[in-house]
Amino acid sequence: MKIALMGNPNVGKSTVFNVLTGSNQQVGNWAGKTVERKSGVIQRADEEIELVDLPGTYSLTAYSQEEIVTREYILREKPDVVMAMVDASNIERNLYLVLQILELIPRVVIGLNMMDLAKSSGISIQSQKLALALNVPVVEIIAAKGKGIEEFLAEAIRVGKFKSNPLIDDVPYPQDLENKIKAMEELLAETVWATQYPLRWLAIKRLEQDPEIGQIWKRVPKSTQKNRSLDPCCDIGDPVKYELEESVFLPGETLLQTYEAEGWSKDHFEMAVADAKYRYISKILPEFLKHEDSIKTTWTDRLDQWILSPIWGYPIMFIVLSLVFWFSFVASAPLGGAVSEGMALAADYLVRLMQWFQIPDVLQSLVRDGIFAGVGAVLAFVPQIAIFFAFFSLMQDSGYLARAAFLGDRFMQLMGLHGKSFFSLVSGYGCNVPGIMATRTLEDPKDRLITMLINPLIPCVPRLGVMSAVVAAFFPGTQGAVVMVSLLFISLVLVMFSALFLRRVVNQKERSAFVMELPLYHIPTMRNILLPTWQKTYSFLKRAWTFILVASIIVWALSSYPQGVPMSATWAGKMGSWLAFIGQPLGFDWRIMVAIVFGFTAKETTLSTLGILYGVAADASQSIAQAMTGAMTPLGAYTFLVVYMLYIPCLASVVTTYKESRSIGWTSFGIAYNLLLSFGLGWLIFHCGLALGIK
């Protein structure tokens, strides 16, 4: 059985999905899309069920990738039943999506979530009367407390096994609109499309001139070009069987031209259909919903008086983000040190064991100076990353992150960006890859592109970890704190400058309006915090034991061969000598340049590369940084920190930028921009420091 889980954003879908699937989840992207795909397998009564968590969306039009993906899945995959999540505290807007779902598939079960929040807000809903009004089963659930979720699934399984589809009443439209829908239905009834899509829905989409449906109709099989028919569920991507016919006469074109002459444009139909649905919802609401005469002040209202206050909101946000970073970088330091010491002990034990078995020295060096020195230095950051992602999930699930975006919108507008860009930039402090992916929430393609290109200027956790180690070695005590703050300040200034500059480059003239939903506050579940944290941390660990392991071995080989020669004469040394002309004007030795080059593969490998090149075997990151003190002055170290913080994003970020932008040109521009900005600013700082007598 195949079940689709659908609903508006922030209705508790993720909670239900995580409870039902647990660790049996697969996370990826939909084919050809940048939207995340989540699916899981459930076993109930010796039956295997595939549960697909479709992207949260407010409607099933074709204006965003989330809407397109969700609609295409229902139409093409034809799930046995849809579990539609509805926020009981905001039921009117949620039912709009339910009505659209019922136009596509009649087997639907409504999960009425957040009943406790609705009750505390003075809203009373009689679920049985709601079920009668829509002729759809309704199950009351409180997902955050795990109540009703199994009953929700059981009802979905029952409905999915129906031998015939239940009868669903059509939404009544005004008579004039109804006549036009009927006319289009009659015209499309004889076409092959009517056998693939619900006819009434197909007629409405044709009247709305839905662009996605139009693209499918324009693809005509060569064998049937004369009669202009098409099975839309065929493999339309085969160039041998099909070709794109832009001039094909779409069904109903003459009828649409007639309606347009009468004043019924595409937008007119869309507004009329949406208005009719909301009128229908308003008509049936009194049958099952009651509001108390006295409106209660909820906890959300009380908290928002402070959190969204123009006076107190920003200090509160500063305190919250400061605590997140303090726990991520300061409180996690002992854990990181313990991991580093553990790796050092493991390396010593393994090397002694290899010596006992008389393993060749070259393999001992590979284990000690390559694998453990490289990967060990990176694994020391795992506690930082895990804690950061845990706090990020906590803010997101509690509802605070949406408030932070609302407050951040004022600063984003100064840069000409959308308030939702705040999500991307804040996510960048954890990792630039999810930060770039977070631009999917932006509707305007130019806003997305600008935010993608400036995101790598935000130092991620691995970069901040390397930076903090170097700062601690060269600038101890309070001086180090001032230096770290100055680096973050430089980053933010360049983000603002770059955003304004890139607005001109991409020719972004109009600013998008900032409209977003502020969900009710609720206490996050441990599952919703720990599961995403584990998934992201596990992804990082996989990189450490695969990608970074390979990079560490390559660096070890380059720095070890030819054998019996000084480090500067090895292959890595020769690579550094070739790059010396770039590093010398900034006070960098060849080791720093090699580390910068390998830092492109993954920012974590910068520290592992330095650990190998400076001969610090599987030791604490602090020792690696201290080894650098003999290679450069404090001014050189500060210059290195600026360049390292700003230069090319890691390989994963570059690949993600390409996948999200689908443009080699803009991806290459981003790389070149970061290189010029970082080395140019580094050169300026270094020479200004020399001119002022700083060393």
**How many CA within 13 A on the CB side of residue 329?**
21
Tell me the binding residues for Mg(2+).
Answer: 18, 21-22
CA distances (Å), 538 to each of 359, 533, 534, 650, in order?
Answer: 32, 8, 6, 19
Angle between helices 175-188 and 266-288 (to 10 degrees): 120
| Ranges assigned E (strand) in 130-241 | 138-140, 219-221
3-state helix, strand, coil in the chain (%, to 5): 65, 10, 30
Q: Are the CB atoms for 642 and 424 separated by under 8 Å?
A: no
Rounded Cα gap, residues 650 and 380, in angstroms? 19
Give the total residue count for the chain: 695
Q: Is 367 exposed, middle or buried (0-12, 13-18, 19+ CB in 10 A)?
A: buried
Q: Which two tokens stand for residue 323?
A: 């605590």
* 576 C-beta neighbours (distance < 10 Å), count: 25
> How much is the CA Rg of the chain, to the nearest whole Å?
29
Query: Phi/psi at 380 (nearest 5 deg)?
Result: -65, -20
Peptide bond into 562 cis (omega under 30): yes
Collapse the DSSP code of 192 into the 3-class scheme (helix H, G, I; strand E, B; otherwise coil) and give the result.
helix
CA distances (Å), 160 to each of 81, 163, 278, 380, in order?
Answer: 5, 9, 28, 49
Rounded Cα gap, residues 472 and 641, in angstroms? 12
Tell me the binding residues for GTP.
Answer: 7-14, 32-36, 53-56, 113-116
Q: Which residue has the tokens 């002040």?
A: 297
Rounded Cα gap, residues 112 and 115, in angstroms? 7
Tell me the binding residues.
Answer: 7-14, 18, 21-22, 32-36, 53-56, 113-116
Q: Give every CB contact of residue 662 below 8 A, 6+ residues apart in sequence.
A: none
Rounded Cα gap, residues 498 and 451, in angstroms? 10
